[in-house]
Amino acid sequence: MDITTGHNARQRGFDPLLAEAPPLDAADPGYREERDASGAAAAVARFSAHAESDPDAVWGALRRHELDVRVAGEDPGPAFGRILDDWLRTIAADERPGDAESSARVNVPSRDIALVNALSARGFSPTGIRAVRPLPRGALAPAPALPAELDGAVVRTATLDDVPALGALDARLLALDAHFAGVTERPGAAAMFAEAYRARLRTAPDTTWVLERPTGITGCIHVMPDADSPEPDTLALAASGGQYLVVMYLDESERGAGTGAAFCDMAHRLLDADGSPYTVLSYAVANPRSGPFWSRMGYRPVVTEWQRRPAVLAV
Ligand SMILES: CC(C)(COP(=O)(O)OP(=O)(O)OC[C@H]1O[C@@H](n2cnc3c(N)ncnc32)[C@H](O)[C@@H]1OP(=O)(O)O)[C@@H](O)C(=O)NCCC(=O)NCCS
């Protein structure tokens, strides 16, 4: 059986939220394939290099090796493991051991447990989760009228005047998330983020909200149409036309009192009332606040990003 056909048959069985994977190009120089009695795996390896000043440089290492994978059969783990070994051998020829500006990354369906041991045995860790909250079934809670009061603060829709404050909050989130092996702090990140907000608030003027006190803005939720998502490549969802929650951040002074949950609930009610079929977001696996918070808010994992960074481990 064709490996992508088998891949999609397996995937339909464990996650209806993911789209069918497209076929791989067997003529691509990065293509490889492995088969045995229990399963099969195919993949295309890709590479991208980023200058430090490139806005995308914050999303990881400067040199990124990526693998687009299909697996089929009863137990594709061993075939997948041989693909990883072959790929890592080619990476080792190009990269310096221990260089944290190199990474090897693989996005896999979170529910494909057959792939976990093969990745783990080769030093990969789960670094990122993409999680989805489908539009709730049944009657929807009414959307709040904005501006609205929340715990003594005001929630309102962001305007272009808020761009510097939003950029600064985003840079603080980057500094926090840089602890978790995925994203990387880069010089000038706050100004770069502010520029991105300026463009995105023009494209989607109604789906960024700030939490404001007399002292200034102490939190934000920034949402974009999923189709315009600024996140790097990942596996596609079966549904389209949803929203991507790019950033949620609260100042330390606002945390741990239920304000985040209530603020997020307001955003969800606004998105639900607008008919968004789903909301999707990404978070760092090792951020101790993210998984519990987003699970409570109704999100569940669909794609797990596994990474080795450095791509070639120091001996
Ligand atoms: C993640 C974040 C948005 C959550 O906001 P928050 O206001 O701290 O979240 P909540 O108050 O709803 O929940 C946090 C804790 O307060 C508790 N809490 C206290 N009073 C509460 C109340 N009245 N109602 C609900 N929860 C309450 C919650 O139970 C929860 O406890 P736990 O963490 O021990 O499980 C916020 O902490 C934040 O911005 N962190 C920094 C950025 C970050 O890590 N982002 C991760 C997502 S990408």
Ligand 1 binding pocket (C-beta < 6 A) is: 173, 176, 248-250, 254-261, 283, 287, 289-290, 292-293
Which pLDDT band, with edges at 50, 70 and 90, does 231 fall under?
low
Question: Which atom of ligand 1 approaches the CA of 261 most closely?
Answer: 12
Average pLDDT, the chain: 95
Choose one of 177, 209, 250, 281 to mutate for the ligand 1 pocket test, by most ligand atoms within 8 angstroms of C-beta: 250
134-306 is classed in which CATH architecture? 3-Layer(aba) Sandwich (3.40)
Mean pLDDT of 2-18: 96
Residue 153 has pLDDT above 70, yes or no: yes
Query: For position 315, what pLDDT does the model report?
Result: 79
Question: Which atom of ligand 1 approaches the CA of 260 most closely?
Answer: 7
Residue nearest to atom 2 of ligand 1 (CA): 260
Query: For position 233, what pLDDT does the model report?
Result: 76
Mean pLDDT of 48-66: 94
Q: How far is the CA of 252 from the centre of ligand 1 (A)?
A: 10
Q: How far is the CA of 292 from the centre of ligand 1 (A)?
A: 9
CATH for 3-123? Answer: 3.40.630
Examine domains 3-123 and 134-306 and report if their fold is the same: yes
Residue nearest to atom 31 of ligand 1 (CA): 256
Q: How far is the CA of 262 from the centre of ligand 1 (A)?
A: 10
Mean pLDDT of 168-181: 94
Q: How far is the CA of 293 from the centre of ligand 1 (A)?
A: 6
Q: How far is the CA of 233 from the centre of ligand 1 (A)?
A: 29
Mean pLDDT of 299-305: 98
Residue nearest to atom 22 of ligand 1 (CA): 258
Residue 230 has pLDDT above 70, yes or no: no
Residue 287 has pLDDT above 60, yes or no: yes
Q: How far is the CA of 256 from the centre of ligand 1 (A)?
A: 4
Q: How far is the CA of 261 from the centre of ligand 1 (A)?
A: 7
Mean pLDDT of 211-236: 90
Q: How far is the CA of 302 from the centre of ligand 1 (A)?
A: 22
Angstrom distance (rounded) from CA 304 to CA 12: 17
Choose one of 129, 222, 293 to mutate for the ligand 1 pocket test, by most ligand atoms within 8 angstroms of C-beta: 293
Mean pLDDT of 15-30: 97
Q: How far is the CA of 246 from the centre of ligand 1 (A)?
A: 18
63 neighbors 54 (Cβ within 8 angstroms)? no
Mean pLDDT of 181-200: 92
Which amino acid makes up residue 121?
A
Mean pLDDT of 293-302: 98
Query: For position 228, what pLDDT does the model report?
Result: 85
Query: For position 229, what pLDDT does the model report?
Result: 77
Question: Which atom of ligand 1 approaches the CA of 251 most closely?
Answer: 39
Residue nearest to atom 15 of ligand 1 (CA): 256
Domain boundary assignment for the chain:
3-123, 134-306
pLDDT per residue as tens digits for the range 232-282: 578 999 999 999 999 999 999 999 999 999 999 999 999 999 999 999 999
